[in-house]
């Protein structure tokens, strides 16, 4: 089946997400849909999958105009969307999952288990898969779950598959298994849209590519005609290093060093060091293991092997209380889940970390608490009405500043900031960057974890790029540009 | 004109409803007020004999408060447990276990532990109370450790300890009836102005202490933080396990004090039935008092009001002659009604 999307426009409020996008896919094609976060890939595919209606534009299947209003419309027309979070029920077997919602029944109303198993087996045979339909989905590894989900789509006669980052949670061997399945499908004449950030995989499996940038399709063509480097450049655009960072640096001592850290799951063989007054960036794509790495270091996640040195002394932090005591601060990502305590006031949120320090016989010194709070409000320019209001009454940017304040109150020697400007508007972003740079000037060693290359370039002296739990390379000076960061983050090496 | 009037009365109504929905304290307080008015009517208020009426009224209140002091004290600890996102079903069984321990200590029969050690009178009572408190804290600590180190849900752990504590106590105490010395009874029955006020006094003092702990101390605020967002609290350098352990230890402590009070009020204990249902009564009081079942919000003051609402309602039903079997149903209605209100509030 030929699919063609023409002149697609879509905006959310004033934000134009897609502008006159044309996209097509033919049988037997595996097309990589590429672009940075927020480029409009998901929106485009949600329109094709019937999840969102376009503001303008048409979709043609084999030359016939169609109008998808719900995901079911799209599925009935033969287009299946395999989301990143799989829609399988772990506690049912494979065949039950394959027929969920349209179970086959015998004449007497009971389920026709045998026929469902038989039809599932027949499909698996066609795909040369060796799977028992009666296996529980829970017992399958991630790649087979993916395969079951794809098979279910085929069972419903899908001839176009949209796969949203299918490999992000898979290991190397599992990826190979899914790729085998994709090749088989290709030979059967199925068209596949492959959304991914991993350029090496794109080179490996895809036949064609289309690149979106800021809602506009900027390039398309055959994969055989390009290199990963071309793709990375096209994704980012031509401008290189938006704002140069020139900070005077004195010779300073090392405050944090990490030597060959591994946790056997999320990160392996990580070594780096941070000096006082330095801003080190750690970047990469989602799921590269950087948050897990630093949460392990502060004692809030899995145990690790390797050695951490704090001001030249070997340490092993058992829990977050110890981390606070030695002067190691961690501003977490996902403010809502990890940063704020929504039932508490602004003042309390700003001082929870320092309560043990400002209390006597267990009683919190309210005067000291207010004093420190007022000081931070002034220093960080937090805009609020009353400190006794709930934290949730503040805007995202100001909430983030309160989360920063609770750590600044403890006067850390090393401050780790995980996605510090997540969900923060542009103005507040700049203010937070200034706060970070001021802290560094005061001699705090700073680590900024971020998936935004521009942010890393804006505030960091140098940056490490992670890929699949390992450090893929370091960027500094000339190499600190979006292009090189993107290449490292997608698993390409710089040389 | 008519239109205008209805508009302004509507705005007053909205104001009251918002107050009702956003401030649990307001709604519980109002509910209590209504109860008290009804109770006043039920007691046959009339102007000419206001003096004697007041006497009856006061006596009635003293009875209500005294009869609920035991559950009231337990509900104080239960408040912290529930605010932290937990639950403790074992309070009634802990009460029996600690009650038995106290009676064995102060027994003036041949098997009395302290008597055989040559200690009698006030020193024996003090030692017995200290041992009871330590015992309560230890039992609470067992619960706490199973929850934090064993990573088990509080409901499961305390469902288990509820069975264990009572059954072991019953078995251990078969065929042994300790005699509680009369002097011990004065802990509860010391009269002030001809009235048995001591249990009320203990409840009041503990409520004030718990209120201060909850509002002013690091521990008290950390309890709320843990209940509201455990992950963020942990990432803020709070030792969440330590906080939880302390909560259950404190719960055990309060139960042990309630046990001492119980023994000193009656002078004996029915191991099979004493304290049974206390967990549900305490939880009801906490919930009616506006504490959020899923944790993160709640006050000691609210729980005191909650305890009073249920108590006054019981008294009221008694006064108007509702049959005893039906009274529990009203309790159920109150609990469900108050949670419905909380739900409304969280949706808005």
**CB contact residues (below 8 A), chain A span 378-417, against chain B:** 406, 410
Map tokens 């009460």 to a residue: B95
**pLDDT at residue number A411:** 92
Q: Does the beta-carbon distance from A330 to B235 stay under 8 Å?
A: yes
Is residue B221 very low, low, confident or very high in pLDDT (cuts 50, 70, 90)?
very high
How far apart are alpha carbons A362 and A344 in whole angstroms?
Answer: 19
Q: Does the beta-carbon distance from A341 to B221 stay under 8 Å?
A: no
Q: What is the DSSP letter of A338?
A: I
For the segment A442-474, what is each residue's pLDDT rounded down to a tens digit? 999 999 998 888 889 889 989 999 988 899 999
How far apart are alpha carbons B275 and B265 in whole angstroms?
Answer: 14
Measured between beta carbons, the chain B residues lying within 8 angstroms of A362 are 217-219
CB A42, CB A82: distance < 8 Å: no
Q: Kindly list the residues of chain B whose beta carbon comes within 8 Å of any beta carbon in chain A.
A: 216-219, 221-222, 224-225, 227-229, 231-239, 296-297
Nearest residue to B38 via CA among B289, B328, B312: B312
pLDDT at A238 over 60: no
Q: Does the beta-carbon distance from B237 to A324 stay under 8 Å?
A: yes
Map tokens 């549900």 to a residue: B280
Distances (CA, A) of A26 to A48, A61, A83, A295, B227: 14, 10, 21, 45, 54
Which residues make Cβ contacts (< 8 Å) with residue B308, sequence separation at least 6? B32, B64, B68
Q: Tell me whether A352 touches chain B (CB under 8 Å).
A: yes
Nearest residue to A416 via CA among A258, A297, A301, A307: A297
Nearest residue to B76 via CA among B223, B342, B282: B282
Measured between beta carbons, the chain B residues lying within 8 angstroms of A344 are 221, 224-225, 228
Measured between beta carbons, the chain B residues lying within 8 angstroms of A332 are 232, 235
Answer whether 0.90 is exceeded by the pTM.
Answer: no
Q: Does the beta-carbon distance from A339 to B232 stay under 8 Å?
A: yes
CB A160, CB A25: distance < 8 Å: yes
> What percentage of residues in chain B have a pLDDT greater than 70?
91
How far apart are alpha carbons A156 and A120 in whole angstroms?
Answer: 12
Residue of A nearest to B234 (CA): A320
pLDDT at B102 over 80: yes
CB A448, CB A404: distance < 8 Å: no
**For testing the chain A interface, which of B149, B223, B224, B237 should be mutated: the one with the most A CBs within 10 Å?**
B237
Is residue B347 very low, low, confident or very high in pLDDT (cuts 50, 70, 90)?
very low
pLDDT at B119 over 90: no
pLDDT at B348 over 70: no
Which residues make Cβ contacts (< 8 Å) with residue B325, sequence separation at least 6? none
Cβ neighbour number for residue A248 with a 10 Å cutoff: 6
Is residue B21 very low, low, confident or very high in pLDDT (cuts 50, 70, 90)?
low
Residue of A nearest to B297 (CA): A343
Is residue B236 very low, low, confident or very high in pLDDT (cuts 50, 70, 90)?
very high
For the segment A392-442, what is each residue's pLDDT rounded down to a tens digit? 888 888 999 999 999 999 999 999 999 898 877 767 788 899 999 999 989
In B285-333, DSSP assigns E strands to none
Helical pair A396-408 and A366-380, crossing angle rounded to 10 deg: 120
Q: Does the beta-carbon distance from B234 to A300 stay under 8 Å?
A: yes
Nearest residue to B45 via CA among B33, B58, B32: B58
Tokens representing B56 are 């009856």
DSSP codes joined into one string, A157-196: T--EEEEESTTTT--HHHHHHHHHHHHHHHHTT-EEEEE-
> Which is it for strands A216-222 and A279-284: parallel, antiparallel or unpaired?
unpaired
Q: Does the beta-carbon distance from B224 to A363 stay under 8 Å?
A: no
CA distance B108 to chain A (A): 40
Distances (CA, A) of A305 to A171, A264, A297, B153: 21, 9, 11, 30
How far apart are alpha carbons B226 and A402 in whole angstroms?
Answer: 18
For the segment A348-360, what is each residue's pLDDT rounded down to a tens digit? 999 999 999 999 9
> What percentage of residues in chain A have a pLDDT greater than 70?
96
| Range A24-34 average pLDDT | 93
ipTM of the complex: 0.82
For the segment A191-233, what is each residue's pLDDT rounded down to a tens digit? 999 998 778 889 999 999 999 988 899 999 999 999 888 888 8
How far apart are alpha carbons A421 and A456 in whole angstroms?
Answer: 11
pLDDT at B6 over 60: no
pLDDT at B207 over 90: yes
Q: What is the DSSP letter of A339?
A: I
Q: Give phi and psi for A245, each to the nearest 5.
A: -110, 120
């Amino acid at each position: 089946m030929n699919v063609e999307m023409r002149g697609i426009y879509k905006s959310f409020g004033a934000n134009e997400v897609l502008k006159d996008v044309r996209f097509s896919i033919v049988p037997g094609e595996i097309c990589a849909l590429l672009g940075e976060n927020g480029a409009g890939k998901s929106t485009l595919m949600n329109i094709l999958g019937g999840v969102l209606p376009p503001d303008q534009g048409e979709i043609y299947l084999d030359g016939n105009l169609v109008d998808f209003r719900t995901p079911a419309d799209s599925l009935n027309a033969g287009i299946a969307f395999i989301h990143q979070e799989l829609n399988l029920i772990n506690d049912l077997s494979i065949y039950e999952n394959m027929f969920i919602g349209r179970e086959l029944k015998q004449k007497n109303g009971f389920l026709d288990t045998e026929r469902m198993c038989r039809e599932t087996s027949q499909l698996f045979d066609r795909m040369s898969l060796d799977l028992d339909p009666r296996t529980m989905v829970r017992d399958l590894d991630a790649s087979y779950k993916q395969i079951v989900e794809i098979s279910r789509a085929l069972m419903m006669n899908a001839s176009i598959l949209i796969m949203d980052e299918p490999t992000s949670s898979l290991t190397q061997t599992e990826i190979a298994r899914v790729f085998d399945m994709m090749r088989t499908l290709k030979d059967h004449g199925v068209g596949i849209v492959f959304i991914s950030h991993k350029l090496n995989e794109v080179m490996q499996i895809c036949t064609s590519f289309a690149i979106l940038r800021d809602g506009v399709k900027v390039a398309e063509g055959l994969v055989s005609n390009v290199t990963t480097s071309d793709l990375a450049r096209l994704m980012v655009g031509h401008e290189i290093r938006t704002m140069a960072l020139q900070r005077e640096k004195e010779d300073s001592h090392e405050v944090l060093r990490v030597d060959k850290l591994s946790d056997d799951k999320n990160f392996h063989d990580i070594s780096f060091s941070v000096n006082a007054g330095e801003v080190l960036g750690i970047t990469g794509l989602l799921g590269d293991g950087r948050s897990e790495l630093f949460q392990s270091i502060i004692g809030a996640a899995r145990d690790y092997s390797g050695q951490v040195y704090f001001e030249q002394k070997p340490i092993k932090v058992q829990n977050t209380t110890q981390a606070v005591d030695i002067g190691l601060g961690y501003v977490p990502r996902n403010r809502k889940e990890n940063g704020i305590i929504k039932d508490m006031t602004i003042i309390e949120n700003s001082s929870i970390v320092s309560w043990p320090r400002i209390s006597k016989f267990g009683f919190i010194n309210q005067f000291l608490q207010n004093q420190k709070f007022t000081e931070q409000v002034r220093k960080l320019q937090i805009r609020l009405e009353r400190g006794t209001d709930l934290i949730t009454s503040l805007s995202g940017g100001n909430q983030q500043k309160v989360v920063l304040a609770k750590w600044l109150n403890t006067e850390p020697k090393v401050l780790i900031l995980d996605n510090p400007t997540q969900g923060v508007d542009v103005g507040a972003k700049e203010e937070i960057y200034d706060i970070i740079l001021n802290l560094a000037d005061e001699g705090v060693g700073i680590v900024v974890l971020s998936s935004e290359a521009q942010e890393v370039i804006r505030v960091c002296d140098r940056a490490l790029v992670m890929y699949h739990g390992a450090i893929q390379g370091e960027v500094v000076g000339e190499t600190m540009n979006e292009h090189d960061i993107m290449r490292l983050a997608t698993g390409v090496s710089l040389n | 004109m008519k239109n205008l009037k209805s508009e302004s009365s509507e705005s007053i109504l909205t104001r009251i409803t918002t107050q009702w929905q956003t401030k649990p304290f307001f709604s519980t307080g109002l509910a209590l007020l209504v109860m008290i008015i009804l109770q006043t009517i039920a007691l046959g208020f009339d102007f000419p004999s206001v003096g004697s009426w007041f006497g009856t009224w006061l006596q009635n209140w003293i009875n209500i408060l005294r009869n609920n002091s035991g559950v009231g004290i337990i509900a104080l600890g239960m408040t912290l447990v529930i605010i932290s996102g937990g639950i403790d079903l074992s309070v009634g069984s802990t009460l029996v276990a600690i009650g038995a321990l106290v009676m064995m200590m102060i027994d003036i029969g041949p098997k009395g532990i302290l008597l055989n050690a040559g200690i009698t009178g006030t020193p024996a009572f003090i030692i017995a109370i200290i041992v009871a408190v330590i015992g309560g804290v230890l039992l609470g600590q067992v619960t706490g450790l199973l929850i934090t180190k064993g990573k088990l849900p509080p409901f499961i752990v305390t469902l288990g300890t509820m069975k264990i504590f009572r059954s072991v106590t019953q078995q251990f105490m078969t065929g042994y009836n300790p005699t509680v010395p009369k002097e011990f009874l004065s802990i509860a029955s010391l009269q002030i102005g001809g009235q048995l006020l001591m249990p009320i006094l203990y409840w009041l003092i503990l409520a004030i202490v718990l209120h201060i702990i909850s509002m002013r101390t690091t521990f008290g605020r950390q309890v709320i933080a843990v209940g509201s967002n455990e992950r963020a609290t942990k990432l803020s350098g709070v030792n969440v396990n330590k906080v939880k352990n302390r909560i259950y230890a404190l719960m055990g402590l309060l139960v042990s004090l309630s046990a001492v009070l119980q023994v000193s009020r009656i002078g004996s204990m029915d191991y099979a039935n004493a304290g049974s249902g206390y967990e549900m009564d305490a939880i009801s009081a906490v919930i009616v008092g506006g504490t959020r079942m899923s944790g993160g919000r709640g006050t000691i003051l609210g729980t005191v009001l909650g305890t009073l609402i249920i108590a006054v309602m019981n008294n009221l039903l008694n006064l108007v002659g509702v049959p005893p079997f039906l009274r529990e149903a009203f309790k159920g209605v109150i609990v469900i009604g108050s949670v419905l209100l909380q739900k409304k509030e969280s949706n808005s």
